[in-house]
Amino acid sequence: MSNDTKTVLLSGVGGQGAILAADILSRVAMACGQDVKLSEIHGMAQRGGAVTTVVRLGDSVASMVADKGSVDYLVSFEKVEALRNIEFLKDGGALLVNDEFIKPLPVATGAVQAPSGVVESLEQAGAVLVPAEALAKEAGSVKAVNVVLLGALSTKLSYDEATWLSVIESRVPAKFKDVNIAAFKLGRKFVEECSA
Amino acid sequence: MELISGNEAIARGAWEAGATIGVAYPGTPSTETMETFAKQPGVYAEWCPNEKVAVEVGLGACAAGRRVLSSMKHVGVNVAADPLFTAAYTGVNGGFVILAADDPGMHSSQNEQDSRFYARAAHIPMFDPADSSEALAFTKNAFEVSERFDMPCMIRSTVRVSHTKCPVELGERVEVEPKPYAKDAEKWVMMPAYAKPRRVSLDARVAAVTEYAETCEFNRIERNEGAIGVICCGATYQHVREALPQADILKLGMSWPLPPKKICEFAASVENVYVIEEGSDYLSEGVRALGVQLSEPEGTLCPDGELTPGAIAVAFGAQAPEHAEMRDDLPGRPPALCPGCPHRLVFRELSRMKAIVTGDIGCYTLGALAPLSAMDTCVDMGASISMSHGFELGLQGREHKPVVAVIGDSTFAHSGITSLLNTVYNRGAGIVCILDNRTTAMTGHQGNPVNGITLQHRESRELDLPGLVRALGVEDVAVVNPMDLKATRAALKAAAQNADELSVIIFCSPCVLLSKTHEAALVVSSDCRACGACTLIGCPAISRDEDGKAHIDANLCVGCEQCSQTCAFGCIGKAE
């Protein structure tokens, strides 16, 4: 039934564009004939707090939530959030992380120390660190970090590039189309070269 | 196939069923339902000040012969409960369907409530979809059931249905002529002489709809190995399907009334029967009451929070999968008031005053968190003002810090007005701060009676908020710009000195997210003395570097100049 179902967990900080990324991913899966469930959390959690979005893909998807140790692909828009959600990653799952640290408010005010050795912990967990902000800037807008990370994720999934590109084109405003296409390609190329 | 959320599907189902009127108060996780419905062609939809008003408007429109959709979050059902219970007696003319969106896990709510208890208590048939496709189909059908059995119907969703998107096959709209209205006092005037026979009628209607539940296609049995039988409904069904692929399932699409024969037959057809549900024991109680012996899994399923497939599998003896452990030294990342939020300095000043602050429901509840830490209570919509009056009474005769109620504009319109009226009427004292940010911000910037913006952008009028407060009988009313620290401090100080009187301060400044353009980011000069005063306002754009000096993140800063007013040394300002 749903044992072919793959689980993608997108983690980050409210306002980073994870919901649009999840929407594009879901539509790519649908365009490739798959069933999909996309579960997101709204409301108070969005005010700069930690957020997660789950996308489940397969022939017939049942549940819409992720359990600890069940996520095939953890894509984190921020480094500390990657570590916060590491328990969800399946043994042997892929970990793609935007190489960016966003200070949580307790750290910013000095109430709590920033954690040390974040990159070491991520590397130990087998993370691919993606310089998504730099690549997004290169593509033309720092706001395209989400689509850079989709490009990175696309290397782990079997959907063809043309479907990705056509869905991205249909889901972003026309004037940002080129930026997002470039962002996707840069993210994809970065991971391909890492694993080459 | 369209990728739509449960909320969008409910709106679509109502539209396809020919509903022409929608009434709601926004509340997570229900809000998008009415927003989506309002965008459909050929419908009228409005935001109401609260859920009680919405259900009453809806009941009127349905009595007049229209099909009506109303939507609310679970705690909104508490507010609407008064008309709902009697609406079951009156019944309907046009179909009337009400969404109750529950929030197990409290992602954006003050409690977990299981709205299925309301259906049972109020005698309102309830449909309990498990995904967007069912949400559409069940809502469409609920209008038929409502008219056929002369009862309002409820749709119950949870956050995982409302906010999960999945592919849905859309249908066509059926245009439904409004039913004629004919005066019928015995049906609609619920005074004892007429309500008593309606109670008898209600019992007959409940019996009829219970018969319907026995054959309703939404209550279906999925046959399997016959060893484990599970009765479940809503999103939990999806978790069960994944966790226990060998199980026979009685999937209840109607969570009230339950179909007794179907449940008993299912129970008899499997070796062991379980009820799996989250949040409460509503369903297991109902099944046990039919005389069914329920089995319990070996492991426990937590009553609080949300269920997951993993939790169910482990309760039934599976091994939890291996996974890496989370580091235990990670800093938390709580949500915070946005950079430029007009509420921030009010809370900073209340914190300085060490005031007893009775809070309320909205973005500004975040004033409770460090470093502002300026809230003592938060319970329900409007409670800030009534609880502050209670604090004043309870502390009478004892020396105490100023008692300050803090309430947003939309929440004030929802339930604060009657509370303020009570304080005036009973000659209460204290300070009431109405944080008027010109919108219902928390749920995504809906219009409300204070700003006068309506759901479908029909012409309306802004409320004269100070005029209303004066008309209620408050003599000390001030309107203050909360972006001005000195004015904010002075207003609160003056009100605190006037301790024996009731003072209302309207802090009026629009939500920062309403503006698309912002001032340039501020910068900290090299003269910063590392005192940390600016970080006490809890702005996400301000942090301290290793030697304690302030730093402003140019990507987050909106140049609001709140922080610069807190710097005694004038070290924060615009870039040269």
What's the length of chain B? Answer: 576
**What's the confidence (pLDDT) of residue A108?**
87
pLDDT per residue over B345-375, tens digit each? 999 999 999 999 999 999 999 999 999 999 9
Task: Calculate how close chain B gets to A125, using CA atoms only, in Å.
Answer: 8
Q: Does B546 lie at the interface with A, CB-CB under 8 angstroms?
A: no
Pick left, alpha or beta for residue B530 (phi over 0 → left; psi -120 to 50 → alpha; otherwise beta).
left
Contact B333 A104 (CB under 8 A): yes
pLDDT value at residue A49:
84
Q: Is B166 annotated as a binding residue?
A: no
B337 touches A at CB < 8 Å: yes
CB neighbours of residue B454 within 10 Å? 17
- Render pLDDT for B111-165 as a digit per residue (tens, 0 to 9): 999 999 999 999 999 999 999 999 999 999 999 999 999 999 999 999 999 999 9
Query: What is the pLDDT, as a whole number, of residue A2?
Result: 43
For testing the chain A interface, which of B161, B328, B330, B552 should be mutated: the one with the most A CBs within 10 Å?
B330
* Omega of the bond leading into B192 within 30 degrees of 0 (cis): no
Report CB contact under 8 Å: B334, A89.
Answer: no
When pLDDT is cut at 50, 70 and 90, the band that residue A3 belongs to is: low
Q: Residue A29 has which token pair?
A: 């899966």
Indicate the pairing of strand A50-58 with strand A35-39: antiparallel
Q: Is the dihedral of CA B554, B559, B565, B566 positive or negative?
A: negative
Cα–Cα distance, B357 to B349 (Å, whole number): 11
Q: Which residues of A touch B74 (CB under 8 A)?
A: none
- A36 bridge partner residues: A57
- What parts of chain B have a pLDDT lower than 70? none
What is the architecture, at CATH level 2, of domain A6-102+119-195?
Answer: 3-Layer(aba) Sandwich (3.40)
Q: Is B404 exposed, middle or buried (0-12, 13-18, 19+ CB in 10 A)?
A: buried
In the DSSP assignment, the letter for residue B378 is -
B1 contacts chain A (CB < 8 A): yes
Query: Does the distance separating the beta carbons of B330 and A112 come in below 8 Å?
Result: no
For residue A44, count CB atoms less than 10 angstroms from its CB and return exposed for 0-12, middle for 13-18, buried for 19 or more: buried
Which chain A residue is nearest to residue B110, measuring alpha carbons?
A44
Q: Was B233 annotated as part of a binding site? A: no
Q: What H or E segment, with its residue span, contains residue B406? A: strand B403-408
Region label for B62, one of left (φ > 0), alpha (ψ between -120 and 50) or beta (otherwise):
alpha
Residues in chain B with CB shorter than 8 Å from the CB of A65 are 160, 239, 306, 308-309
Residues in chain A within 8 Å Cβ distance of B536: 109
Q: How far is A178 from chain B (nearest CA, A)?
A: 23
Give the integer Cα–Cα distance in Å for B80 and B87: 11
User: What pLDDT, on a 0 to 100 scale, did the predictor assign at position A60?
Assistant: 96
pLDDT tens for residues A150-176? 999 999 999 999 999 999 999 999 999
Mutate to test the interface with B, among A11, A67, A103, A123 (most CBs of B within 10 A): A67
pLDDT at A110: 85
Complex-level ipTM: 0.96
With b meaning 16 or more CB within 10 Å and e meaning fewer, what string describes B503-529?
bbbbbbbebbbeeeeeeebbbbeeebe
User: Which pLDDT score, from 0 to 100, does residue A1 have?
Assistant: 42
Q: Which residues of A touch B1 (CB under 8 A)?
A: 30
**Unique residue bearing structure tokens 């707090």:** A49
Is there a contact between A109 and B544 if contact means CB atoms under 8 Å apart?
Answer: yes
User: What structural domains does chain B harbor?
Assistant: 2-215 (3.40.50.970), 219-315 (3.40.50.920), 344-514 (3.40.50.970), 522-574 (3.30.70.20)
Contacts of B16 (CB under 8 A, 6+ apart): B136, B140, B170, B171, B172, B173, B174
Contact flag A70-B321 (C-beta cutoff 8 Å):
yes
One DSSP character per residue, A172-193 reads S-GGGHHHHHHHHHHHHHHHHH
Closest chain A residue by Cα to residue B32:
A42
Q: What is the pLDDT of residue A43?
A: 58
In this prediction, residue A44 carries a pLDDT of 59
- B302 assigned binding-site residue: no
What is the average pLDDT across A82-106?
95
Q: Which of residues 263-322 of B touch A (CB under 8 A)?
A: 306, 308-311, 320-322
